[in-house]
């Protein structure tokens, strides 16, 4: 039986390490609290759903040896390279079957969004979830993950660059547009 795989892609929440643009606006303590809260929330929201198997792809690689991760969830290192290389590697590490990768900074992310992406993979080769800032919060693949090529990550051009680099033969579908929390404006929208 072919299984569906959901990859939660994240940096280990550590004080002074991640979410640098957000931390510059709200401070390191608030940023790491946000990261920890999102990890707990998304594992609870997405980890119990029987329609897929949840996996965590974490950075830095040494975080795989550290404790404190949710029990019963497969954990793998993202490895080296740019964001696109690490996402491709995390998707390629999944057993055969459709796979969806999501970021860990999307407060509105719900099982319905993931289920919709898997449904789209029934007729598309690749599914992308646009973020309101011009990036994307989800990438799903039916088979082998594509190379993302040259992408201006963490910019308003990320989605457009990724789309432009995909082979033209691939059928691309789009999931819902959601907000990710990367900086002060997105943090303020979350607080409203």
In this prediction the pTM is: 0.94
Mean pLDDT of all residues in 99-116: 97
84 confidence band (pLDDT: 50, 70, 90): very high
Q: Which has more pLDDT, 71 or 9?
A: 9
Whether 192 shows a pLDDT value over 50: the answer reads no
Going through 60-184 in order, the beta strands assigned E by DSSP cover 74-77, 99-103, 126-130, 136-141, 172-174
Whether 191 shows a pLDDT value over 70: the answer reads no
3-state helix, strand, coil in the chain (%, to 5): 35, 20, 45
- In the block, which residue shows the tokens 């991760």? 69
Mean pLDDT of all residues in 129-151: 94
Helix axes 28-47, 111-120, angle to 10 degrees: 60
Whole-angstrom Cα distance, residue 27 to residue 9? 23
Whole-angstrom Cα distance, residue 18 to residue 77? 16
Q: What is the pLDDT of residues 152-181, one digit of tens each?
A: 998 999 999 999 999 999 999 999 999 998
Per DSSP, the residues of 129-161 read EEBTTSSEEEEEESSSPPP--S--TTSTTHHHH
Mean pLDDT of all residues in 127-156: 94
Q: Percent of the chain scored above 70 by pLDDT? A: 98
Identify the bridge partners of residue 118 per DSSP, sorted by sequence position.
none
- CA dihedral angle for residue 181, residue 110, residue 14, residue 147, rounded to 10 degrees: -80
* Domains of the chain in sequence order: 5-191 (3.90.550.10)
């Amino acid at each position: 039986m072919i299984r569906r795989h959901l990859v939660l892609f994240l940096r280990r929440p550590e004080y002074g390490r991640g979410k640098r643009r957000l931390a510059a606006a709200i401070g390191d303590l608030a940023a790491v609290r946000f990261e920890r809260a999102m990890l707990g929330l998304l594992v609870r929201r997405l980890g119990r759903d029987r329609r897929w198997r949840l996996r965590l792809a974490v950075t830095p690689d040494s975080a795989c040896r550290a404790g404190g991760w949710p029990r019963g969830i497969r954990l793998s290192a993202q490895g080296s390279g740019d964001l696109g290389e690490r996402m491709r590697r995390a998707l390629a590490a999944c057993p055969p079957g459709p796979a969806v990768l999501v970021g860990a900074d999307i407060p509105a992310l719900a099982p319905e969004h993931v289920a919709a992406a898997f449904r789209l993979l029934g007729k598309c080769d690749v599914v992308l979830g646009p973020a309101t800032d011009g990036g994307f919060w989800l990438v799903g693949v039916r088979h082998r993950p594509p190379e993302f090529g040259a992408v201006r990550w963490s910019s308003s051009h990320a989605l457009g660059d990724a789309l432009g680099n995909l082979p033209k033969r691939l059928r691309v579908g789009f999931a819902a547009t959601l907000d990710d929390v990367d900086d002060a404006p997105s943090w303020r929208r979350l607080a409203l």
